[in-house]
Amino acid sequence: MAQKMFSPSISVSKSRGWISTKTSGFSPIGKYSRSKSLACHNMPSAVVVGEDAKTLQALRIAHKESKINPNHAKPDYVHSVSTFEEAPFDEMDKRIEELVTEIKGLFNSMEDGEISPSAYDTAWVARVHAFDGSAKPQFPQMVDWILQNQLPDGSWGEKSRFLACDRLLNTLSCLVTLSIWGVGNNQVNRGLNFLRRNTEGMIKEALGHHQPKGFDMVFPVLLNEAKLLGLDLPYGLYIVKQIREKPDLELKKVFVEELHGHPSTMLQCLEGVQEIIDWKRVLKLQSKDGSFSGSPASTACVFMHTRDIKSLQFLTSLVKKFGDHVPSMYPVDIAERLRAVDCVERLGLERHFQTEIKQAMDYVFQYWSERGIGFGRESLVPDIDITATAFRLLRTFGYSVSSEVLQNIKAEAEELLKLSGNENSAGVIGILSLYRSSQLNFPGEIVMKEIDCFAKDYLAEFLQTKNFSQVKVVKENLPEEVEYALSAQWNRNMPRLMSRNQIELFNPNDLWLGKTLYHLPNASNDKYLELAKLDFNRVQATHRFEIQRIKRWYKDCNFPRLDFTRHREVAVYWTSSAVMFEPQYTDCRLDYAKAGLLATITDDLYESYATLNQLKLFNEAFERWDPLMSEQLPEDMKIVFMGIYNTLTDISERALKVQGRDVLPYLRQQWLNLLFSFTKEREWMERSYSPSLDEYWANAEVSIALETTILSPIFSTGNFLPDRILEKINFLDLVSQTGRLMNDVRTFQKERDRGELASFVECYKNEHHGCTEEEALNYMERMNEEALINLNYHFLMRSDIPKCYRTLLFNTARIMQMIYRKEDGFRNAAEYLEDSIKKSLYEPVL
């Protein structure tokens, strides 16, 4: 019975990624009169008086001696935080507006992509002889670029970073091209001197890591060409002989035969296997734009062997676009859009660029297929990193994409793991992207769990090696990114903290590695970082101002006078700022925090402070909604009653202006449900009663107080919330379920020590004789994971519900995962949550 009760299911049509939802065993709405619309509530807003109203005076019970909550004296976090001077907001807002406009301009200017020059590919295109048959280059400006872009040390390549394989390929390719045309003697001599000084060390470094795409095939070809041209290099060195002889001809034939059959990554390095290619068969694998997997070097090589006019047209279009050089791949329209969207989304800037994100993702989705996607729209070869990133972002923004696409690239990713070891930046970045994408899983997607397991193992092994020399050249903070990603998965962490971490790790000068290093300037630059810092600090300042409003409300309610409760104004406000951080949701945040604080106080009141009879009187006073009757309550209980009364009245009066109807009866019903659930728990404790699992769970999902915490501010988003939408928010039970499970896992032992027998662990053990505590906890973890997977679907795919309401629910589930990740973080807020609160609310990003 219990097993069935906790099995909401979602069926996935794998063929097209369509998803239908159905729940089994229990209703998402309906317990304790949890109605689907305001119309279902007939509780009047006005005070209930009349002949049936009883006076509490006759029933009043003398107030017993206070039971002080053991945690009440621990200071709230704010007491230990000093104030500091805020930056001028007008200047900050003006600069934010300027940067938003500039970055929107970058998005709107995106066509086929902007990408940095590649000396290696430019040298290959410069080799092309004139189409008219004359003994001169078809693109002489390419030769001029090579002559003018030699680095001070005599090499060619990415000047901001030194990566051995990058410098070797770029430099040797340029030397071969200059020698073919017999120009640039000075540059050739300087380049040869560089290689003679560094060849042995650079080859050792390159061989000590997994090389980039095609290096082991392309570099030996360049060495052989250099020797045939008479270039004076240390060919006699053992390591040079080793790398020249490394490519196995039979192995090459296997790769080429596979290449002839279907498109593969070999299309990007045809120049490395040109001696055994069947050019007629390869021409059948040409992209529509005339290129071979977007590679200028491969396409130039094909043209030199075939004189294919479409290949020449592609090369000519590149020269027209870039003038005197070419990049390592083109077009990069898909990659550029994905990198830019990924950048603003992970930096927490999504709200500024909603139109631009929609346009970019519509563009990507237009070229999406179940085989995956490459760097450009014409690419015939999917890329692991690009496909995984596209999958994650498409799901993030509500596009229906099937996980089958990840199944299709999973085999390639596993092969990459075998070949690359764990020091290859391209491999680590690709597997990290796969790991991130696997966390946006929906029910029934087995492949997502498989990817999660092997990607997690690979990334953990990468961190254990502590040999980050190559990856840090390409992406400086990649080890730290991996460590953070493994520390808490996407649906168990908070967007605000993830954004802060990304800002701190973001390097606008980070590169990407194909055959050589490259940069996408429209997708990563200083403007993104400056905006992210300013925006984070500006929002943080807004949140600190709101903390003062919460503390004034708390004081106005006389709550500091209560000595039985935990005073957690800042910690509770922090949860609201993490759930709905955007500036426009001030009212929602404040009401969320107020509801959370009221729930905390009433929980402490009902748990051990008041007598059971007093609590029943409190319930009656609340149900009648008469502040005059509260005068008969003990002073501290009166304070609590009036705090709830005034707060709900205020929320409903403000909501009336936006909603056009009275929401107070609805709010009162939610809170009455909560008070009844608290009362039942107190009755169980006093009777030493151990309920059945079903009985416990029906009450526990309410007493976790997440429904009241969410439904109290849900009318305060500034948006009209009609009944038809409210009825559709039918996954609130999943939020309560995950929150209750996490809470029980961390608190059941202390509660048991206090004599409370009603917990999930104890009830489960009672109904499963012989079951150990560990088995019960494992079952709870499986339940929690299943609920989170279901929540993933509701949050990402329920487009019938406005995003702000989905966010309110989903982020509440996430905050519960975070608070109870290792211990009862709420009870020990001052210690356990200190770092998160500081980073979110008090420490600006510098």
pLDDT per position as a tens digit, 631-654: 889 999 999 999 999 999 999 999
Task: Decide if 307 contacts 487 (C-beta within 8 A).
Answer: no
Task: Note the pLDDT of residue 266.
Answer: 85
129 beta partners: 137
Domains of the chain: 2-7+24-41+534-842 (1.10.600.10), 119-322 (1.50.10.160), 330-515 (1.50.10.130)
Q: What is the mean pLDDT of residues 145-153?
A: 98
Report which secondary-structure segment, H or E, holds 94. Answer: helix 89-108
Residue 567 near residue 72, CB atoms below 8 Å: yes
**The pLDDT of residue 55 is above 60:** no
Residue 79, pLDDT score: 45
What's the confidence (pLDDT) of residue 263?
Answer: 84
pLDDT of residue 591: 98
Cα distance between residue 200 and residue 405, in whole Å = 42
More confident residue, 25 or 243: 243
Residues 307-312 have a mean pLDDT of: 96
pLDDT of residue 44: 53
Q: Give phi and psi for 9, each to the nearest 5.
A: -125, 150
Q: What is the mean pLDDT of the chain?
A: 87
Q: What are the two backbone dihedrals, phi and then psi, of residue 18, each rounded to the nearest 5 degrees? A: -75, 145
pLDDT in tens, 356-373: 999 999 999 999 998 999
CA distances from 529 to 103, 226, 538, 715, 844 (A): 11, 43, 14, 34, 14
Q: pLDDT digits over 666-692, tens only? A: 999 999 999 999 999 999 999 989 999
Burial class, 846, CB count within 10 angstroms (exposed 0-12 / middle 13-18 / buried 19+) = exposed
Residue-wise pLDDT tens digits, 590-642:
999 999 999 999 999 999 899 999 999 999 999 999 888 888 899 999 999 99
pLDDT digits (tens, 9 = 90+) for 170-187: 999 999 999 999 999 999
Residues 763-818 have pLDDT tens digits of 999 999 999 999 999 999 999 999 999 999 999 999 999 999 999 999 999 999 99
Residue 8: pLDDT band with limits 50, 70, 90: very low
Tokens 């906790």 correspond to 6
> Using CA atoms, how far apart are residues 629 and 705, in angstroms rounded to an integer?
25
691-749 pLDDT, tens digit per residue, is 999 999 999 999 999 999 999 999 999 999 999 999 999 899 999 999 999 999 988 88
User: Which tokens belong to 443?
Assistant: 């029910």
What's the pLDDT band for 277 if we cut at 50, 70, 90? confident
The pLDDT of residue 18 is above 50: no
Q: How confident is the model at residue 19 (pLDDT cuts 50, 70, 90)?
A: very low
Residue 350 to residue 353: CA distance in whole angstroms: 6
Q: Which of 570, 572, 635 is nearest to 599 (CA)?
A: 572
List, for residues 430-463, the tens digit of each pLDDT value: 999 999 999 999 999 999 999 999 899 999 999 9
Q: The pTM is what?
A: 0.89
Q: What is the DSSP letter of 52?
A: T
Does position 70 have pLDDT exceeding 90, yes or no? no
Which pLDDT belongs to residue 470? 77
Which 8-state DSSP code applies to residue 523? Answer: T
Distance of CA 564 to the CA centre of its chain: 40
User: Token pair of 744, please?
Assistant: 């029980």
pLDDT per residue over 472-507, tens digit each?
888 999 999 999 999 989 999 999 999 999 999 999
**Residue 713 dihedral angles phi and psi, to the nearest 5°:** -95, 0
SS3 254: helix
Q: What per-residue confidence (pLDDT) applies to 414?
A: 74
